[in-house]
């Protein structure tokens, strides 16, 4: 059982590194950057959510809004696919 757990953690870590390389970056607006956060395992890979972080000392209601993909799927073969809101929600319901 510990071998299976260790293998899963290794796969999880590899998927996280791929997602970070793909999705974590500064945004075009000063003071904002995008990170990725693991949601969990789905049948075909690993699901990640994009999070926008504001480093400015301003209230949330004054912060910029951003549009685009809300997350990504890192497939078991290493392929990465950005997900729209509806696609992400569908995948979220499939968490293992």
CB 24 within 8 A of CB 72: no
Range name among 10-14, 38-42, 86-90 with the lowest pLDDT average: 10-14
Q: Which domain does 26 fall in, by range? A: 2-92
Tens of pLDDT along 70-80?
999 999 999 99
Q: Does the pLDDT at position 6 exceed 50?
A: no
**Which element (helix H / strand E) includes 84?**
none
Q: Does the pLDDT at position 43 exceed 70?
A: yes
CB 40 within 8 A of CB 71: no
What is the C-alpha to C-alpha distance for residues 87 and 65, in angstroms, rounded to an integer?
A: 20
What is this structure's pTM?
Answer: 0.83
Q: Does the pLDDT at position 53 exceed 50?
A: yes
Number of folded domains that form the chain: 1
Closest CA to 38 of 27, 22, 25, 50: 50
């Amino acid at each position: 059982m510990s071998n299976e757990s260790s293998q899963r953690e290794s796969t999880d870590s590899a998927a996280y590194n791929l997602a970070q390389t793909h999705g974590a970056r500064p945004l075009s607006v000063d003071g904002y950057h995008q990170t990725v956060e693991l949601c969990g395992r789905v049948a075909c890979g690993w699901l990640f959510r994009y999070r926008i972080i504001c480093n400015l000392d301003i209230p949330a209601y004054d912060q910029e809004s951003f549009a685009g993909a809300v997350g990504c799927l890192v497939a078991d073969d290493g392929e990465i696919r950005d997900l729209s809101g509806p696609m992400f929600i569908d995948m979220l319901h499939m968490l293992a």
